[in-house]
Amino acid sequence: MGSSGLTRRQALARGGAGLAGLSGASWLMACGGGGGGANKPAAVAKVAPAKGDVSYWYTTTNAKQKAWQKTYDFEAFQAANPGIRLQTTQKPLDTIARVTQTAVQAGKGPDVIITGGPALAAAYARAGNVLALDEYAARYGWDKKILPWALDAGRLEGKLYSLPMSYESMILYYNKSLFTDKGWSVPKSRADLEAIATDAMAQGIIPFAAGNAEWKPANEWIVTALFNHMAGPATVQEALSGDRPWTDPLFEEAIATMADWFKKGWFGGGVKQYFSNRFDPLYAGMAKGKYAMNLEGTWAFANLSGFFNGDTEFDWTTVPSLRDGVPNDIYALGAGGTWAINAKAKAPGAAAKYLDWKFADPALITKGVAEVDNQPTPVPLASGDFPRGIDPKVERFYIDFGQSTGKGTFGYTTWTFMPPKSDSYLAEEVEKVLVGSMKPAEYLKGLDKVFRAELRRNDVPPLPKQAS
C-alpha cells in the first residue's frame, strides 16, 4: 500500500488477526507440541529480576520512525539498563503478527510479543503462551502510568496479560480554508453535517474524502463512527457486553444512514469510486478542495500534514452527535497493538523492565509524537509534557482526549473492542450493504450471530465502563 492510511495496529490486526498459516503453523504446532486437547491455563509470572537477555521483534511504518526508535528507544534503554541485553529484530509490518504467532505456537518467538490488539493478546493468554503481568504491574506502578481504560483492556479473567502500544480515536478532519471560503461552520450535529454535505455536493465538492482500495477495512472507520455517534456509546457498550443485540433499531438506523450517504455519493464520490480510491490522492484532493472533510482516525494527522502545505489549512473536530440524546465531544477509545511477555521468556523480569520503559517518560513519548509522528503509548499527558514545535492540532487532540475520557465518557472503536471474527465480519460484509446486495437488518443479524458465538467463548476484551 501507499505511504498513508494504514496504522501499525491495524496492519498488525489484519496481518495476523489471529491465526497462524494453515500449513506452516499447523506443522510447527505439531512439531512444537503446541496444540492438542483443551486450552492450557494461562501462565502466571513470578517476579523475576530485571536482568538478562530480552529479544524483541518490532516493526515500524517508515525510516524516520525506525531511526528514532533505534536512538531513543533501543539504545537509550540499553544505556539506562546495562544489566539487560536487548536484542531487536525488525519484521515487515504486514507479516509480523503472523510470523510471531507461528513462532510462539512452536514454542519459540521473541520474549516481548507484539499482537494486533487486546482480543488477540487474550487468545495467547488462553493458550498459555504469555505471562500474567500483575506482579510487574504492581512493581512498576502501571496503574498510575497507563490510562486506566487502556490498561484494563489487557485483562482476561481478572489478570493482566498485555499492555497497549498506542491509542487513537476517530475524529472529523475538515479543510479549514475551504470551510472559511464557503462560510461553513464546524458541524456539531447531524443536521449541520448533512447541510454541509448537501451544499458541497451542489457545488461539485465531494463531502468526504474516503476510499478503501488500499485498505479494505477502512469501511470499519465509518461504521465505528456511526455506531458511536449515532447509536451512541452507551448503546455500543451494551451491545459489546451482550446486553443488547446488534440487531437493535439504533444500529440498523446507523447502517441504513451509512448506506444512504454512500448512495448519495458523499463518501469518495460514490460506492464504486469509494472502492477504487487510494489514500494519497484522497489527501491531495482534500488539500485542493476536491473533498471537504475526512472521517478518519488520529493516525491521519501525519498523513494530512504532508499535503496541506501553507496555501490551505486543515483542522479537526470530534465527530458530531448524529442523533438527539447522543452527547457531543466524545471520543471512541482505540488501543493500538499490544505487548505481552512470552511464557517461554528466559528473563521475564528484564522483558517487563523494557515494557515499563515504554510508559516511563511522558516527555520522551511526546518527543516521538512531535518529531516523527509516533502514536504515543497511552499515558496521561498534560500541556507541559509536549515539546515546543509540536503541531498544536495534535497537542489539542491528546489533551482533549485525556480529559474527556478521564471523565468516563467515551465510545469504543470496533477494531479494539470487537472480537476478531466479529470485527472482520463488520468490516467486510458491510460492503454488501453499500452495494445494495444485503439489507442493513440482514447484515446486523449476521453480525449478532458471529458476535454471540464469540461472546460465549469469552473472546470479547474487557470493556472500560462509562461514568454513570
In the complex, the residues that contact another protein under the rule CB under 8 A are: 14-27, 29-31, 34-40, 98, 101, 105, 123-124, 126-129, 212-213, 216, 271-278, 281, 420-421, 424-425, 428, 431-432, 434-435, 437
Toward another protein, which CB reaches closer, 212 or 366? 212
The number of beta carbons lying within 10 Å of the beta carbon of residue 421 is 17
Toward another protein, which CB reaches closer, 319 or 450? 450
Shortest spacing between CB 458 and another protein, in angstroms: 13
Shortest spacing between CB 20 and another protein, in angstroms: 5
Shortest spacing between CB 95 and another protein, in angstroms: 11
Q: Are the beta carbons of 168 and 401 closer than 8 angstroms?
A: no
Shortest spacing between CB 24 and another protein, in angstroms: 7
Pairing of strands 155-156, 52-58: unpaired
Residue 213 DSSP symbol: S
Shortest spacing between CB 104 and another protein, in angstroms: 8
Toward another protein, which CB reaches closer, 72 or 124? 124
CA dist 356 and 354 (Å) reads 5
Q: Are the beta carbons of 254 and 323 closer than 8 angstroms?
A: no
CA dist 375 and 27 (Å) reads 36
Toward another protein, which CB reaches closer, 216 or 263? 216
Shortest spacing between CB 356 and another protein, in angstroms: 26
Toward another protein, which CB reaches closer, 300 or 450? 450
CA dist 206 and 199 (Å) reads 10
Grid coordinates representing 264? 448519495
Toward another protein, which CB reaches closer, 98 or 358? 98
Q: What are phi and psi of 300, to 5 degrees?
A: -75, -10
Shortest spacing between CB 397 and another protein, in angstroms: 30
Place of cell 520474549: 111
Toward another protein, which CB reaches closer, 26 or 409? 26
85: helix, coil or strand?
A: strand
What is 40-78 written as a DSSP string?
PPPEEPPP--S-EEEEEEE--SSHHHHHHHIIIIIIHHH
